Amino acid sequence: MKLLRPFLFVSQATNENVNLAPKVIRDLARELKNLDDSPPEDIKVYVNEENFSNVTADIEGPHGTPYEGGVFRMKLILSNDFPQTPPKGYFVTRIFHPNIAKNGEICVNTLKKDWKPTLGLRHVLLVVRCLLIEPFPESALNEEAGKMLMEDYEGYAKHARLMTSIHAMKPKPKSKVPIAESTSVNAGATDDVHTPLMHNTANKDNTLDSGVSVGISDAITATSPTAKKPKGELTSTKSLVDKKKMDVRKKSLKRL
């Protein structure tokens, strides 16, 4: 039985080192920084600082499509007269899609007749992602996928999901801090802020000795309504009360 293994396309176009104009490089650097600071939904862009003509992006398969649960890598190759001419788009990750050829080439009007120099890389990436949501089988590069999509969508979706499970990368789980962990962290921070008075002597005068701390502790204990008194002290207090009662009784007898 032949095992299917994930693999990446290698296009000769990706090896070209194109000399871009300095102004184009500055504009690209600005746009790439913007893409990094504010990435499009489910799209991550990677930059080759040594070659700005080669832009790599990872696109998460949109929900509700046969590509859900997979991450697909693609490349945009810029020619030396970019942006006057559109970039060439290639899927590096193997995918079963009507508008993506078996060699990874992307067929979309934005990268052909509808291209305008004012369109940026963000627009191109969003169009490619939308292509995963709504393919155009009428202009298919992969005729098998296009025909299957129009005649047997369930069969097309099943095959596309199979290809996704085999070749696509898995999305990284989004980190979430558990509520219990967050609470314990906050509690720890609170404990650090509210330092007991007896131990918070870092900013006090060095002339203060331990006797002051003990005095404060004793004062707090004495004034506390819930503080427990020694057994001997309780006994003497009780005797004093009894003696006062006896004196009052004696005075009352004398009056009689």
By annotation, the residues acting in catalysis are 107
Q: With beta carbons less than 8 A apart as the criterion, state whether 94 and 5 touch.
A: no
Residues with Cβ < 8 Å from 177, sequence gap 6 or more?
Answer: none
Residue 44 burial (10 A CB sphere; 0-12, 13-18, 19+)? middle
The distance from CA 66 to its chain's CA centroid, rounded to whole angstroms, is 25
Q: Label residues 136-159 b or e (16+ Cβ within 10 Å = b).
A: ebeebbbeebbebbeeeeeebbeb
Q: Which helix (H) or strand (E) holds 72?
A: strand 71-77
The torsion defined by the Cα of 100, 61, 135 and 47, in degrees rounded to 10, comes to -50
